[in-house]
Amino acid sequence: MPYDVETIRSDFPILARQVHGRPLVYLDNGATSQKPRAVIDALVRFYETSNANIHRGAHGLGSEATAAYEQARGTVERFIGGNNGNELVFTRNTTESVNLLAQSWGRANLKAGDEIVLSVSEHHANLVPWYMIARETGAKLVFLPLDADGRISLEAARADISPRCRVLAFAWVSNVLGGVNPVRELAALGKAQGALVFVDAAQAAPHFALDLRDLGVDAAAFSAHKMLGPTGVGVLWAKEALLAAMPPWQGGGSMISRVTQDLVTWNRLPWKFEAGTPNIADVVAFGAAVRYLKAIGWDALRAHEDALTAHGLRALAGVEGLKLYGPREARDRVAVFSFSLEGVDAGDAGALLDAQGIEVRVGHHCAQPLMDSLGVPGLIRASAYLYNTAAEIDALAAGLKKVVAKLRPASAAAAKP
Amino acid sequence: MSQLPARLQGMVDELCAAEDLEEKYEILIELGRQVADIPAGRKTEACLVQGCQSVVHVYSEFEDGRLRLHGHADALIVNGLLALLVVGLDGLTPKEFLEVDPRFIEKTGVIKALTPSRVNGFYNIYERLKADALAALA
């Protein structure tokens, strides 16, 4: 079936609305994606027809809700290349998944002198949890630098990933630069030293097939809300042997097998890590989001987004004073564009774009070490997804030209021929 | 809300009359451009307004019973918000200054579009100047 972006757009009710009296041009997908009708309907349908608590009770409604929840787990697991049943844990978001891994595995395994190797481009979600466990255990954080294209430098990784490396944790795709990191090569370097290899797939999962079992990593995390699903659902995927060896993190209902006054034994995987009533309805709706993505198909989605990326690179090159960060070539990145405008405050630019109905993000993008290494206080980020069009990218470029005309000091404009 | 000082009222009227948000921002940018920069020697920690996303300095001088207000922000829209206060309320007596309710900003229609940090920034600038007005009265 040919990719018809207008048909896809019609599945997303919010895209028809206006902001500040202008048609919405939503280019903040790196923060969260919009939701198709199928996901909204699945959420409402669950509450209208199947709502009950799961994994307990002896009534039909509870069994139905449990089946819907566990079916969604299977749908998501198969979508990312797994089919084991014990390897996918639902959390609140990517951040909680990283905290789970760092707190559970890290506390049991890390000691003074060990190294946790990250990159300077990590989102705070894949930095602060490791910082916290490093402080607790005496382990040390090591930051891999980026190459000239803004991707993790393999050369530096070969030098810096030493036998002391016990954890290698990095983002597959930078939330700021949009660059796709060489995940297989990095994973192999980490595994060669016997490290735990974790990949933050929050910005990868919405855009291409993960095939996690085939990747050479031990664990990965991502969030439903960046890939058409609801907020409040994250995934921690990890190999069964790893999860089995990890102690539980949060205690409570559902995660136990037996509780006496003297002894508690743990439930089996994956429920050992899902304490308390989970986010049942949102997980079920996440299943609908995955089915929606599957129906479109990765090949069609990739072709559309790659065309948007190439179009974006050309369109943004025509904006005076715009400095784009991240890979130069479309094949090395996703359709995420972070840039500065010479002589223009990023917050001012964001406000003026917003007044034109163009929604982007400005600021440090939860990646302050990256901002420090680039020597900028913040950047403007436009991030596209499967429903964005070339016309919207053109609207962004035109909007930016207006911003430059209004905000750039006369001296900076005159300095350029 | 009590009557605003004439100069501030003019600025507020202009913002209220703007057709859309884009025009409101243009007015703020223009107001921001008209604010004279402050001497480098005044851009000190003591004059820095906390809680703004951009770098903002304000200070006041008390001359002949009136407050002379000065300030500068490194972002133009914030400088426009700052102008409403340091230009719009310049030259008032401390008592007159304290009679102005800063919530006039909510009538202009720019607040609901601004990020919370910029809204807080506006109120932080006001609070800073208010402290000077109270000190002048003491």
Q: For residue range A195-233, what is the model confidence (pLDDT) as tens digits? A: 999 999 999 999 999 999 999 999 999 999 999 999 999
Whether A124 maps to a domain, the answer reads: yes
Domain stops at, among A294, A323, A358: A294
Is A393 within 8 Å of A314 (Cβ atoms)?
no
A406 interface with B at CB cutoff 8 Å = yes
Could you tell me if residue A101 is inside a domain?
Answer: yes
What beta strand segments (E) does chain B contain? 56-63, 66-73
| Closest CA–CA distance from residue B47 to any residue of chain A (Å) | 21
| Structural domain includes residue A109 | yes
Test B22 with A363 for CB contact under 8 angstroms.
no
Mutate to test the interface with B, among A25, A340, A344, A345 (most CBs of B within 10 A): A345
Choosing from A273, A294, A315, the residue where a domain stops is: A294
**A59 lies in the same domain as A204:** yes
Q: What is the ipTM score, two decimals?
A: 0.90
Work out the pLDDT band at A180, boundaries 50, 70, 90: very high
Three-state SS sequence of B60-78 = EEEECCEEEEEEEECCHHH
CA-nearest residue of chain B to A406? B26
Residue A223 pairs with which residues in a beta bridge?
A234
Tell me how far apart the alpha carbons of residues A63 and A55 are, in angstroms, rounded to a whole number: 8
Distance (Å, whole) CA A144 – CA A121: 9
- Written as one string, the DSSP assignment of A343-394 is T--HHHHHHHHHHTTEE-EEE-TT-HHHHHHHT-S-EEEEE--TT--HHHHH
Is residue A254 located within the same domain as residue A304?
no
B21 vs A355, A406, A407: nearest CB? A355
Tokens of A28: 């903040």
The pLDDT score that the predictor gives to residue A215 is 95
Give pLDDT tens digits for A381-400.
999 999 999 999 999 999 99
Q: Please indicate, yes or no, whether residues A366 and A307 belong to a single structural domain of this protein.
A: yes
Lowest mean pLDDT among A343-352, B52-61, B113-122: B113-122
Q: Give the HSE-up count for residue A80: Cα atoms under 13 Å, Cβ half-sphere.
A: 31
Return the SS3 of B23.
Answer: helix
Q: What is the CATH number of the domain that holds A234?
A: 3.40.640.10
Spatial CA neighbour of A351 closest among B66, B27, B96, B92: B27
A259 lies in the same domain as A322:
no
Cβ neighbours of A351 in B, within 8 Å: 25, 77, 113-115, 118
A47 domain residue, yes or no: yes
Task: Specify whether A260 is located in the same domain as A398.
Answer: no
- The gap from C-alpha A292 to its chain's centroid, in whole angstroms, comes to 18
Q: Which residues of B touch A354 (CB under 8 A)?
A: 21, 113
Query: What strands lie across the sheet with A219-223, from one edge to the other?
Result: A88-91, A234-238, A219-223, A196-200, A165-171, A115-119, A140-144
Amino acid at A143: F
How far apart are the C-alpha atoms of A204 and A183, rounded to whole Å? Answer: 11
- Best of B25, B72, B117 to mutate (most A CBs within 10 Å, chain A): B25
Is A416 a member of any domain? no
Out of A221, A366, A382, A384, pick the active-site residue: A366
Taking the Cβ of residue A405 and every Cβ of chain B, the question of whether any pair is shorter than 8 Å is answered with no
**Which tokens go with A82?**
């797994």
Structure tokens at A9: 């757009």
Q: Are residues A275 and A315 in the same domain?
A: no
Of B20, B29, B53, the CB nearest to A20: B20
pLDDT for B2 equals 62
Q: Chain A: nearest CA to B75, how far in angstroms?
A: 6
**Of residues A345, A354, A363, nearest to B113 (C-beta):** A354
A321: domain CATH number? 3.90.1150.10
Is residue A99 domain-resident?
Answer: yes
Tokens for A91?
């959390």
**CA proximity to A348, closest of B124, B50, B115:** B115
Taking 60 as the threshold, does the pLDDT of residue A412 lie above it?
Answer: no
Structure tokens at A370: 């990256």
The rounded Cα A94 to chain-centroid distance in angstroms is 7
Least confident of A111-120, A299-308, A326-335, B42-51: B42-51
In chain A, what residues touch B78 (CB-CB under 8 Å)?
Answer: 347-348
Asked if pLDDT for residue A414 goes beyond 50, the answer is no
Banded pLDDT at A411 (limits 50, 70, 90): low
CA angle, residues A390, A393, A399, in degrees to nearest 5: 145
Looking at the structure, tell me whether residues A13 and A70 fall in a common domain: no
B36 or A106: which leads in pLDDT: A106
Same domain, A305 and A284: no
Full domain range(s) for residue A378 = 5-30+297-411
User: What DSSP string describes A276-338?
Assistant: SS--HHHHHHHHHHHHHHHHH-HHHHHHHHHHHHHHHHHHHHTSTTEEEES-SSGGGB-SEEE
Is A139 inside any structural domain?
yes
Question: Which residues of chain B neighbour A407 with C-beta distances below 8 Å?
Answer: 29, 76
Which candidate from A20, A348, A350 shows the least CB-CB separation from B76? A348
The answer to whether the CB of A11 falls within 8 A of the CB of A38 is yes
pLDDT at A67: 96
The DSSP code for B102 is: T
Answer yes or no: do A50 and A125 share one domain.
yes
- Count of domains observed in chain A: 2
List residues of chain B with CB under 8 Å from any CB of chain A.
20-22, 24-26, 29, 53-54, 74-78, 113-115, 118
Residue A415: per-residue pLDDT: 45
Last residue of a domain, one of A275, A294, A313: A294
Decide if pLDDT at A253 tops 80.
yes
Angle between helices B21-34 and A346-355 in degrees, nearest 10? 150
A83, A16: one domain? no
Q: Which residues pair with A119 in a beta bridge?
A: A144
CA distances from A145 to A150, A332, A370, B47 (A): 9, 17, 10, 37
The DSSP bridge partners found for residue A266 are A256
Residue A417 — very low, low, confident or very high, per pLDDT cuts 50/70/90? Answer: very low
Q: With 0-12 CB in 10 A as exposed, 13-18 as middle and 19+ as buried, what is B12?
A: middle
pTM listed for this prediction: 0.93
Min mean pLDDT across A9-13, A155-159, B115-119 is at: B115-119
User: Can you list the domains of chain B with their CATH numbers?
Assistant: 6-137 (3.90.1010.10)
Q: Using alpha carbons, select from A16, A5, A11 the residue that is nearest to residue A36.
A: A11
Average pLDDT, chain A: 95
Cβ contact (<8 Å) for B74 and A345?
A: yes
Beta-carbon-side half-sphere exposure of residue A15 (alpha carbons within 13 Å): 23
Facing B75 at nearest CB: one of A348, A356, A406: A348
Q: Is pLDDT of A298 > 90?
A: yes
Size of interface A-B (CB pairs under 8 A): 46
Distance of CA B135 to the CA centre of its chain: 18
- Tell me the C-alpha distance between A350 and B115, whole Å: 10
The pLDDT tens digits for A72-110 are 999 999 999 998 999 999 999 999 999 999 999 999 999
* Rounded distance between C-alpha atoms, residue A238 and residue A202, angstroms: 15
Structure-token pair, residue A80: 């990312």
Band of the pLDDT at A1, cuts 50, 70, 90?
Answer: low
* B1, pLDDT greater than 80: no
- Based on C-alpha coordinates, what's the Rg of chain B? 14
SS3 A270: coil
Q: How far apart are CA A270 and CA A170, in angstroms?
A: 24
Question: Which residues are CB-contacts of A375 (< 8 A; sequence separation ≥ 6)?
Answer: none
In terms of domains, do A255 and A350 share one? no
A260 and A336 part of one domain? no
Which tokens sit at A165?
A: 């490396």
Residue A97 lies in a domain: yes
Rounded to whole angstroms, the Cα distance separating A190 from B84 reads 57
- Before A270, cis peptide (omega within 30)? yes
